[in-house]
Amino acid sequence: MSTHDLYTAPVGTSTWNVPLAGDARFTWEYDDGRDRLLALYQKGKDKQWDSVKRIDWDLEVDPYNALGVPDQSLAIYGTKYWDQLTEKQRGELRQHQVSWQFSQFVHGEQGAMITAARIVESVPDMDSKFYSATQTMDEARHVEIFSRFLQEKMQMVYPINTKLQDLLNETLTDSRWDMPYLGMQVLIEGLALAAFGVIRDITTQPLPKQILAYVMQDEARHVAFGRLALRDYYKQLSAVELKEREDFVIEGCYLMRDRIRGREVWENFGIDPKEVDEMVENSPYMRMFQSLLFSRIVPCVKDIGLWSERIQQTYDDMGVLDMSKADLEALMSQDEDIAEKLDAERFAVEETERKAEVDAVIAAEAAQ
């Protein structure tokens, strides 16, 4: 079945063409480069994996309760709109909500794949080209995973959110080589990584937990890559150049904040988007979720040197300034550990099951 048959609203069959901007940069310097970036490149090579083999796609998913999380996570829970829904409609709402979330994930990951390839082309340093080549492969795998989950398990896909599309467009059409880093590695990937983490930690269903844990293991490296490259470069920029980057970050953060409200879902259920915005503001879960979504972006922006009073005031107005105290290194390390622990637990169970099967066969043969 074509993906177009699963979209909740018509999507054109032609491609979205974003004009290329800036130069493709060759370098004739093939020396070793920066140790930390090369170590990250080696890690990127070592940690490649096959989603067909590592993820258990035989696990069943109920599309009407795909994550197994409390209904309090839905913005309209406890309102008149929730009370008016039948149980069947509530199941359909859960399906739409998860489909919308994972659809934005797959669209964002396609953007990340294209942006990583763009970084290979435009970045001036060979060590950055090396690493970004591994990231391009990672992002291709993520597109494969999320699209398979949507098509096989959810059987529903949402078009790209206009706010996400706007930020992708601004990221890819800027001719300065550092802007794809800033737009994708810091903002889009940072927000996605935090969203993955929240869902990974609260879902009670094994398949989405596997998917998000393993994708996050890759994404932790990607955000680290952006930090290393931009931190060095931004030390060299003038006050005017830094202000231009801050303007981009501020606009991008507001776009990301507005994106997560998921107005498209509520419109499909006949709810006025303005009322949804008010319900999101009044929902304790949604306020917590929105705050956590900036847990990776804010400390990363601070770390790369974009930390003027204006930036801090923006985050204060958004209610996420305290996120600047987060320990990014610890968060990334935790993401990698969770994936490794999940692997260990799964393989231990599989080994136990295989041993039980072998023991049963031996016992049966001995009884004959």
State both tokens at 140. 């291709």
Residue with token string 């990231």: 135
For residue 315, with 0-12 CB atoms within 10 Å meaning exposed, 13-18 middle and 19 or more buried, which class applies?
buried
**pLDDT value, residue 350:** 65
Domain 3-10+33-334 part of CATH 2.40.50.140: no
Quickly count: other Cβ atoms within 10 Å of residue 9's Cβ.
10
CA atoms of 79 and 85, how far apart (whole Å):
11
For residue 133, with 0-12 CB atoms within 10 Å meaning exposed, 13-18 middle and 19 or more buried, which class applies?
middle
**pLDDT value, residue 357:** 65
Backbone angles phi, psi at 18, to 5 degrees: -105, 120
Q: Is 35 helix (H, G, I), strand (E, B) or coil?
A: helix
CA atoms of 360 and 356, how far apart (whole Å):
6
CA 169-7-201 angle, to 5 degrees, is 75
State both tokens at 191. 């927000």
In terms of Cα–Cα distance, which of 145, 154, 156 is closest to 5? 156
For residue 135, with 0-12 CB atoms within 10 Å meaning exposed, 13-18 middle and 19 or more buried, which class applies?
buried
Q: Is 203 helix (H, G, I), strand (E, B) or coil?
A: coil
CA atoms of 281 and 193, how far apart (whole Å):
22
**Packing angle of the helix pair 126-148, 206-234 (nearest 10 deg):** 160
State both tokens at 88. 């069947």
CA atoms of 357 and 340, how far apart (whole Å):
26
Residue spans of the domains in the chain: they are 3-10+33-334
287 close to 257: Cβ distance less than 8 angstroms? no
Averaged in consecutive runs of 10 residues, what is the pLDDT profile of the chain (368 residues)?
A: 87 88 87 83 93 96 96 89 94 96 95 93 91 95 98 96 91 91 89 90 96 93 86 92 95 82 86 81 79 88 94 93 90 90 83 62 65
CA atoms of 157 and 170, how far apart (whole Å):
24
Instruction: Give, in order, the Cα–Cα distances in Å from 156 to each of 71, 148, 282, 336.
Output: 20, 11, 28, 30
Q: What is the pTM of this model?
A: 0.89
**pLDDT value, residue 224:** 84
Tell me the residue length of the chain. Answer: 368
